[in-house]
Amino acid sequence: METTHSFHPFDSFLDRMRNPASLDLVRSIKSFIVSFSFNAPNPENDAKRIQDFFQSMEAAIRDHPLWEGSSDAEIDNALEGLEKYVMTKLHSRTFASSAEDVKMDAEISDKICLLQTFLRPQHLDIPSVLQNEASWLLAEKELKRINAFKSPREKLLCIINCCRVINNLLLKASISEDHVLGGADDFLPVLIFVTIKANPPQLHSNLKFIQLYRKQSNLVSEAAYFLTNLVSAKSFIVDLNAKSLTIEESEFEASMQAARLVNRVPQETLTTFDKMSTFRKITDPGPSTPMHIKAKTNLNGELNYPYMEAEAGELTVGDVEKLLSLYKDVVTKYTSLCSTVRHLSFSKTVSPAPQGNDDDLMRQTNGRTYKDTSCQED
């Protein structure tokens, strides 16, 4: 079983591939990759072809003079290198390439954003001895790294590492806290909660990619078990409703509703702002606005509720409709907010994790990965 990210089969694979003796292998790899440019992506079909290719290459490498007398571990390194090379080259075709997958990813991520605003460990009956902020953060961090890699193996390793952190936490709890070892009964709820806290990028596409394109002979044992658990966590989140949790139905609905309102604000802000052309001069008062007025209204409030600074004398009958709809909007939001706050008042909330920064980091890492893999280009 692979244990760390530090194992680099890739360099030795590229080294061997630069050896003139491997020209035949290089040719078949390249022609295999090129062969994909002739037809549209088709995940099931692509997966079958790629898995078959891995198998035939395994035989070719075992019989190859360059690997004569090699240990199983060395052969394995070569096969891992091959997987990474091929899947990096075919990444845009095989990863999140259909509109459906993109939509799934967005839906899951949106739902997680909503859940993050109110979900607590108690809703999944996670015992307090297992609520270890440091371990959970570590586990989340592993999951969030998943898009820093392009090969199925490395993506899977992020999941394995995340699950190991959780397993260690369970073991520690059972040793030091006299918590009865609960097995999957403890493991799965913690993984679900960690997944929601992490909101890992493109969760659906990443899982699908690993399931389809990780070398099948390595998708076994513990690795397969951990992957299945994350697939299972995803499925739980997708279907999650009030009945999935220890929560009152009304509280669940109110919390989701409040979360939707909060999450929708930025978008509404823009449309509201655009529609309010008549009052543009008020909402956008220009540089002459006294500082103390700006300080009193926050940006969102100002844009969302453009009448905030209006004088009664400026209003016309034409404004009544807008005023009324804004009034209703405010009352609805206020009511939801109140009910949510009432439910949350005694408990710690999960703060939504910022997602943006990770993406930049990933792009950088991916860029580097890509360069690595093009060493072989002529």
Partner 1 sequence: MGCSSSLPDRSSGRSTGLNNADNSEGPDAKNLRVKLVLLGDSGVGKSCIVLRFVRGQFDPTSKVTVGASFLSQTIALQDSTTVKFEIWDTAGQERYAALAPLYYRGAGVAVIVYDITSPESFTKAQYWVKELQKHGSPGIVMALVGNKADLLEKREVAVQDGVDYAEKNGMFFIETSAKTADNINQLFEEIAKRLPRPSPS
Ligand X SMILES: Nc1nc2c(ncn2[C@@H]2O[C@H](COP(=O)(O)OP(=O)(O)O)[C@@H](O)[C@H]2O)c(=O)[nH]1
Rule CB under 8 A: choose which of 220, 293, 320, 331 binds partner 1.
220
CA 162 – CA 158 distance, rounded (Å): 6
Q: Is 178 in the site for ligand X (CB under 6 A)?
A: no
Find where tokens 């009432």 sit. 342
Rule CB under 8 A: choose which of 42, 235, 289, 347 binds partner 1.
235
Minimal distance in Å, beta carbon 174 to ligand X?
A: 11
Rule CB under 8 A: choose which of 20, 69, 73, 295 binds partner 1.
73
Minimal distance in Å, beta carbon 204 to partner 1?
A: 14
Q: Is 26 in the site for partner 1 (CB under 8 A)?
A: no
Query: Is the Cβ of residue 41 or residue 182 nearer to ligand X in the bound state?
Result: 182
Q: Is 183 in the site for ligand X (CB under 6 A)?
A: yes
Q: Is 127 in the site for partner 1 (CB under 8 A)?
A: no
Contact, 241 vs 132, CB < 8 A? no
Query: Is the Cβ of residue 36 or residue 236 nearer to partner 1 in the bound state?
Result: 236
CB-based contacts of 93, cutoff 8 Å, min separation 6: 36, 41, 46
**What, of ligand X, Mg ion, partner 1, none, does residue 23 touch, CB below 5 to 8 Å by kind?**
none
Q: Is 225 in the site for partner 1 (CB under 8 A)?
A: yes
Rule CB under 8 A: choose which of 174, 263, 269, 366 binds partner 1.
174
Q: Whose CA is closest to 10, among 367, 369, 361, 365?
A: 369
Minimal distance in Å, beta carbon 303 to Mg ion?
A: 53
Find where tokens 């003139």 sit. 20
Rule CB under 8 A: choose which of 12, 28, 122, 216 binds partner 1.
216
Find where tokens 């290089």 sit. 26
CA 302 – CA 11 distance, rounded (Å): 56
SS3 content of the chain, % helix, strand, coil (to 5): 80, 0, 20
Minimal distance in Å, beta carbon 47 to ligand X?
A: 35
Q: Whose CA is closest to 263, among 51, 114, 368, 120?
A: 114
Within 13 A of 99's CA, how many CA atoms are on the CB side?
A: 0
Residue number, nearest CB to Mg ion: 183
Residues in the site for Mg ion, rule: CB under 5 A?
A: 183
SS3 160: helix
CA 139 – CA 298 distance, rounded (Å): 36
Q: At what angle do helices 99-116 and 249-275 cross, to 10 degrees?
A: 110
Q: Which stretch binds partner 1 (CB under 8 A): 18-26, 106-114, 195-203, 223-231?
A: 223-231
CA 233 – CA 191 distance, rounded (Å): 7
Q: Is 232 in the site for partner 1 (CB under 8 A)?
A: yes
Minimal distance in Å, beta carbon 183 to ligand X?
A: 5
Contact, 118 vs 340, CB < 8 A? yes
**What, of Mg ion, partner 1, ligand X, none, does residue 72 touch, CB below 5 to 8 Å by kind?**
partner 1
CA 352 – CA 126 distance, rounded (Å): 19
Question: Other CB atoms closer than 10 Å to residue 228's CB: what's the count?
Answer: 13
Minimal distance in Å, beta carbon 36 to partner 1?
A: 24
SS3 346: coil
CA 101 – CA 206 distance, rounded (Å): 10
Q: Which stretch binds partner 1 (CB under 8 A): 144-152, 177-185, 255-263, 329-337?
A: 177-185
Minimal distance in Å, beta carbon 63 to ligand X?
A: 47
Contact set with ligand X (CB under 6 A):
183, 185
Contact set with partner 1 (CB under 8 A):
1, 55, 72-73, 76, 125, 164, 167-168, 170-171, 174-175, 178, 180-189, 216-217, 219-222, 224-226, 228-229, 231-232, 235-236, 239, 243-245
